[in-house]
Amino acid sequence: MKYLITIIGPTAIGKTALSIKLAKQFNCEIISCDSRQFFKEMIIGTAVPSKEELSSAPHHFIQNKSIFENYTVGDFEREAIDKLDKLYKTNDYAILVGGSGLYVDAILKGFDSFPEIDPTVREEIISSYEKLGIGYLQQELERLDKAYFDTISNENPQTLQNPQRMMRFVEVCIGTGKPYSSFLNRKKNNRNFIPIIIGLEAERHEMYERINLRVDLMIQAGLVQEAKKLYPNKNLNALQTVGYRELFSYFDGDFSLDFAIEEIKKNTRRFAKRQMTWFKRTENAKWFDYKTDFEDILNYIKNSIS
């Protein structure tokens, strides 16, 4: 039997540290599903594990793409499942860790295939987009699939600014007459592993304190300088994320630096709240306070396996 020990929870809660301890315990490798950490140009602002942490256990899907590449959750699902298939040839265990709920779901559940759409539908949508802009696509998706629009707004708001993705969502809605979300997880995808899902949580004030501290440490580590290098490419989809957007506004002259930093903290706290809302819906997850003794978590996993 193969097991995928999955660690979920909000940003700055301690998922990386726990994943490394577990990888050492089970002598296995780690699959990262943090959609912000895929990109090699984004290091400080995405809280990429340190060199010491990365060397403590084999990691996959960290800084493996460029911000100039178009990388979708579907691409990640295919690549990650392929990697897991290879890992399971020599090991019964693997670790999945990350704060991107949509990407976690892609591995645990998968996404169904979509029906073919009449090409003329796409052409009409492109024409309307060229005339009316991204707002047209956003309004159409909200009208045609309010549930999925809200999901994106909470989990991956940068997707709302991606015309290719948005056109695809609207295309499916119009071409089938059904919500895009109705084609997601319609049936269970076959997986060759049993997930053991560990959630980490904290009292809200503790979680917010950890987030504020992390942002301060990022600034000390050179986040402003990192964002400055990325500023010429600020319109890329990968950079439409907390920690960079606020500093781009500072470079544009819209924010003072102090205000930009406070906005990063505020928006990260909001992001963490959305993450918890998403993850609390996860079936069969066992939740632990982030200060729980490692042995208690390990015993739960061992009991789940036995």
Summarised one tens digit per residue, pLDDT across range 163-182 is 988 999 999 999 888 899 88
157 with 66, same domain: the answer is: no
Q: Is residue 15 part of a domain?
A: yes
> Range of 194's domain?
3-111+186-214+283-305
Mean pLDDT of 104-128: 83
Q: Is residue 62 part of a domain?
A: yes
Residue in the structure block whose two tokens are 């907390």: 242
Q: Which residues are annotated as a binding site for substrate?
A: 11-16
What is the rounded distance in angstroms from the CA atom of residue 18 to the CA atom of residue 95? Answer: 10
72 with 193, same domain: the answer is: yes
Q: Which residues are annotated as a binding site?
A: 9-16
49 with 195, same domain: the answer is: yes
23 with 101, same domain: the answer is: yes
Mean pLDDT of the chain: 92
| Contact criterion met (CB below 8 Å) for 209 and 181 | no
Question: Which of 195-199, 271-275, 296-300 has the lowest average pLDDT?
Answer: 271-275
Angle at alpha carbon of residue 235, lines to 157 and 39, rounded to 5° = 75
- Give 216-229 pLDDT, tens digit per residue: 999 999 999 999 99
125 with 170, same domain: the answer is: yes
The total number of structural domains that make up the chain = 2
Angle at alpha carbon of residue 40, lines to 51 and 52, rounded to 5° = 5
73 with 140, same domain: the answer is: no
- Check which CATH number belongs to the domain holding 70 and give it: 3.40.50.300
102 with 139, same domain: the answer is: no
What is the rounded distance in angstroms from the CA atom of residue 42 to the CA atom of residue 249? Answer: 17
- Check which CATH number belongs to the domain holding 156 and give it: 1.10.20
Q: Place 186 in a pLDDT band, splitting at 50, 70 and 90.
A: low
**Nearest by Cα to 198 from 1, 28, 14:** 14
Can you read off the two tokens belonging to residue 130? Answer: 């060229």
Q: Which residues are annotated as a binding site for ATP?
A: 9-16
| Contact criterion met (CB below 8 Å) for 170 and 199 | no
19 with 167, same domain: the answer is: no
**Nearest by Cα to 157 from 112, 102, 80, 87:** 102
Residue 119: pLDDT over 90: no
**Any idea what DSSP says for residue 65?**
B
DSSP strand E in the chain: where?
Answer: 3-8, 30-32, 59-60, 93-97, 194-201, 285-289
Q: Is 299 exposed, middle or buried (0-12, 13-18, 19+ CB in 10 A)?
A: exposed
Q: Is residue 134 part of a domain?
A: yes
